[in-house]
Amino acid sequence: MIGDLSVDLLIVLLLVLLAEFVNGATDAPNAIATVVSTRVLTPAQAVVMAAGLNALGAMSGTAVATTIGKGIVKPEAITLGTVGAAAIAIVIWSSLTWRYGIPTSESHALIAGLAGAGLATAGPSVLLWDGWQKVLLGLVFSTVFGFGGGLLLVVAISWIFQRTLPRTVQSIFGKLQILSAAFMAYSHGSNDGQKFIGTFTLALMLGGIIPQFRVPFEVILLCSVIMGIGTSIGGWRIIRTMGVRMVRLERHQGFAAETSAAATIELASQLGIPLSTTHTISTAIMGVGAAKRVSAVRWNVVRPIVLAWLLTFPICGAIGWSVAMILQMVWR
C-alpha cells in the first residue's frame, strides 16, 4: 500500500500519527494516574500496562472510529487538507497544555479541529447533526456519570468496609486497583484510541487507497502502537497532575474513580459515543474527593484544567479553520 501513497496523503497520515502520539502522551496517562498516586504500581510498571492495554482496547471495535470518520463531517465534502488541518490543531493545542502538565481532551480537540477545518473547506452544511448529538451525549456521560459514579461507589465502599481495619482495606484495594487501572487503560483505548483510527481511515479513503470507509486491521495496529509509545515517553507530566496534585487518594478511592470512569467509557464505546476520557476520569476523581469533603479536592489545580476544557473547542476549531484556509491557498 505504501507505493500507492501520494506525497499529500503521506504527509496527512504522518500528521494523524503525530496527533495519536500526542494523544498517548497527554490523554492516555489519565488511565493510570491514580494507580501511581496510591503507590500500587510504580510509574514504569503503570506506563507499560497502560501502553499495552490501551493498544488492546483500541483493537476491540470500530464503533467510535466510525462515528469520527463518518459522523462529524461529511466525508464526501472534505479533502485531505481538512484532515491534516485537524491533526495540526490537536498537535499545537495539546503540546502546549502538556508543557504545563494540564490534561486536555484530544477527543474534543479532534472533533473541533475537524469541524473548523470542515467549515473552511465546505461551509456549515458539512457538519452532521447525528454525530454531534453523540458528542453532546458524551459530555453528559463524562460529567454526570463520571462524578456521580465515583461519588456513589466510594460512599458504598466506605459503608461496606466501615468495620474493617484500615490496613486490611488498603491491602484488599491494593490488589483490586490493579484490575481497575487495567480496565481504565483498556476502556481508554476502546474510545480515545479509536478516534484516531477513524481519522487515519478517513484519510485513506479521501486519498483513494480504500474505496469506502472500512477500518483495516493494519490501521488499528499501527495507531495502537503509536499511542502506546506516546504514553511511554511523555505520560508522567499528566500522571502527576491527575494522580498527585488534584486529590490525594487512598487505594479504595483510586479503585472507585477508575472503576466508575472505565465503566462509563466502555458503555459509551459500545454505543459509538465519542466522549472525553480526560473529562470522565477527572470528574470521577473529583467525585471521589468530594465524597470525603469538598475541600479534599484542590480546586486551584482543577481550575486550569476546567479552563482548558472550555477553551479546547473554540481554540482547536479556530486553528483547524485557519490551517485549512492556508492549505487551500497553498494547494491551489
* pLDDT tens column, 243-278: 555 556 788 888 998 899 999 988 888 888 888 887
Res 118: pLDDT? 93
At 176-209, the pLDDT tens digits run 988 998 898 888 888 877 888 888 988 999 888 8
Q: Which has more confidence, 34 or 28?
A: 34
| Three cell numbers, residue 29 | 496517562
At 289-311, the pLDDT tens digits run 788 776 666 777 778 878 888 89
Q: How many residues are listed for the chain in this entry? A: 332
Query: Minimum mean pLDDT among 9-18, 130-139, 148-157, 297-306: which range?
Result: 297-306
Amino acid symbol at 151:
L
- What mean pLDDT do residues 79-93 have? 92
pLDDT at 120 over 90: yes
Let me know: does 98 contact 301? Beta carbons within 8 Å. no
Distance (Å, whole) CA 102 – CA 304: 7
Helix axes 80-99, 106-122, angle to 10 degrees: 140
With bands split at pLDDT 50, 70 and 90, how would you rate the model's confidence at 331? low
Tell me the percentage of the chain whose pLDDT exceeds 70.
90
Q: Which has more confidence, 85 or 99?
A: 85
Report the number of secondary-structure helices (H) and strands (E) in the chain: 15, 0
pLDDT at 319 over 90: yes
Res 254: pLDDT? 85
Which pTM value belongs to this model? 0.82
Let me know: does 311 contact 318? Beta carbons within 8 Å. no
Distance (Å, whole) CA 13 – CA 231: 20
Res 92: pLDDT? 94
Res 234: pLDDT? 66
Res 324: pLDDT? 94
Please provide the average confidence, as pLDDT, over all residues in the chain: 83
CA angle, corner 114, sides to 110 and 118, nearest 5? 175
- What mean pLDDT do residues 24-47 have? 75
Res 71: pLDDT? 83
Amino acid symbol at 193:
G
User: For the chain, how many structural domains are there in total?
Assistant: 1
| Residue 181 domain boundaries | 2-331
